Amino acid sequence: MPHLCSFVIPAYNEEGNVKAIYQVIHEAFDPKGIPVELVMVNDGSKDRTPAVLKELYEETGGKDLTVVNFSRNFGKEAAILCGLRHAKGDYVCLIDADLQQSPEIAYQMYEKLENEPDTDCVAAFQEVRHEGVILKFFKDSFYRIINRMSSITFMPGASDFRMCRRNMIDAILDLPEYHRFSKGIFSWVGFNTAFIPYEAAERNSGSSKWSFIKLFNYAIDGIVGYSTAPLRFASVLGGILTAGSLLFLLVLLILSFIPGVNTSFRETLIGVILFAAGLQLIAAGILGEYLSRVYIQVKQRPVYIEKEVLERKDDAC
Ligand code: UDP
Ligand code: MG
């Protein structure tokens, strides 16, 4: 029996795409005899997306199709989470509604999961990105910074377009955090992820929902969500300032014993002010250390994830 494959499709203002994606996914999987289900999450679209989805639901009789309409726009991450919660498949594939990501690649992912039992997830990454120089610079810098600051690894160019086994999806659903950053969550839960290259096609209809500001905020979400290093910044700066000003005051003290050398009150005052400022920063850094622990605790992530357990057997001899 082939495995059921769920497609989780976030859709925001995709009236021209939702029927097309339903069709192309069926065209790619039906001839191979692979059962699919689509979970379409309308993320508070302002166009006719909900009406078109309703039409599609009625035309198909709800076969292979779950539609969820959000009460307003909650963002792609929220739509993904909702889709994952509704998906019933043994394999779950995240795919955009705009047909930039080809179901043929999704089929390659399916085959890889079928043939490689050790692979838990197959993610697509864009080998060639058709982006402006500035955007590319910012994206590359983001990966450099986050990989240095975080204990988990972020693969540059990896997209949300991926197919994972049920055990990995359940692990992702076990993360109850509010601020969700999928790229980080996929890495954080572990498991074996294989990467396959793909080239994003042109959007079928409509326009991209990501402005530079949205991308920038997304990058900040990633850094804040997966690193507490910024909280250490105050203590590092405080340490440098305190040590520097102490050295400065020490030099002033030594100079004051040398006959003929005049050390002014003003220099001493500057030294003392810098020393006090350094101590305050160290104190802020100490608060940061406690805050980072509180922050990690309130996320309520599991302490570990069990991928497999080989249970003790009572009747074994
Ligand atoms: N999307 C969403 N909510 C949003 C923004 C986007 O559900 O607030 C969906 C969108 O409909 C699409 C996917 O997320 O299916 C990717 O968005 P888009 O194609 O605009 O991103 P790009 O391909 O330009 O990175
Ligand atoms: Mg797109």
- Span 100-151, pLDDT tens digits: 999 999 999 999 999 999 999 999 998 777 778 888 888 889 899 989 988 8
Mean pLDDT of all residues belonging to the chain: 92
Q: For residue 210, what pLDDT band results from cuts at 50, 70 and 90?
A: confident
Angle at 172 between CA 170 and CA 177, to 5 degrees: 130
In angstroms, what CA-CA distances link 30 with 172, 270, 314?
A: 28, 76, 44
Rounded to the nearest angstrom, the distance between the alpha carbon of 78 and the centre of ligand 1 is 12
Measure the CA–CA gap between 8 and 76, rounded to whole angstroms.
11
Inform me whether the pLDDT recorded for 316 exceeds 80. Answer: no
* Ligand 2 ion: residues within 5 Å (CB): 96, 98, 100
DSSP state of 178: S
Distances (CA, A) of 203 to 22, 85, 162: 15, 27, 18
**Nearest C-alpha to atom 18 of ligand 1 is from which residue?**
208
Contact 212/227 with Cβ under 8 angstroms?
A: no
pLDDT at 317: 64
- Is there a contact between 150 and 227 (Cβ–Cβ < 8 Å)? yes
Tell me the pLDDT tens digit for each residue of 262-277: 888 898 999 999 999 9
CA of 23 to the centre of ligand 1 (A): 19
Question: What is the pLDDT averaged over residues 9-22?
Answer: 96
Name the residue among 40, 144, 149 with its Cα closest to residue 97: 40
Q: Whole-angstrom Cα distance, residue 119 to residue 125?
A: 16
Measured at the alpha carbon of residue 191, what is the angle toward residues 83 and 2, in degrees to the nearest 5? 60
pLDDT tens, 78-94? 999 999 999 999 999 99
Domain ranges of the chain: 5-206+302-310, 229-299
CA gap 152, 276 in Å, rounded: 36
Nearest-atom number in ligand 1 for the CA of 207 is 20
Superfamily holding 5-206+302-310: Spore Coat Polysaccharide Biosynthesis Protein SpsA; Chain A (3.90.550.10)
The pLDDT tens digits for 174-199 are: 999 998 999 899 999 999 999 999 98
d(CA 46, CA 15): 10
- The H or E element that residue 69 is part of is strand 65-69
Give me the half-sphere count of Cα atoms (radius 13 Å) on the Cβ side of residue 15. 10
Ligand closest to CA 209? 1
Instruction: Report whether pLDDT(67) > 80.
Output: yes
What residues line ligand 1, using a CB cutoff of 6 Å?
10-12, 14, 43, 73, 75-76, 79, 96-98, 100, 208-210
Instruction: Write down the pLDDT at residue 155.
Output: 86
Ligand nearest to the CA of 159: 1
Q: What pTM value is reported for the model?
A: 0.86
Q: What is the pLDDT of residue 102?
A: 93
Residue nearest to atom 13 of ligand 1 (CA): 96
Quote the pLDDT of residue 204.
84
Determine the distance separating the centroid of ligand 1 and the alpha carbon of 161, expressed in angstroms: 12
Substitution site in 22, 38, 46, 96 for ligand 1 pocket (most atoms within 8 Å of beta carbon): 96
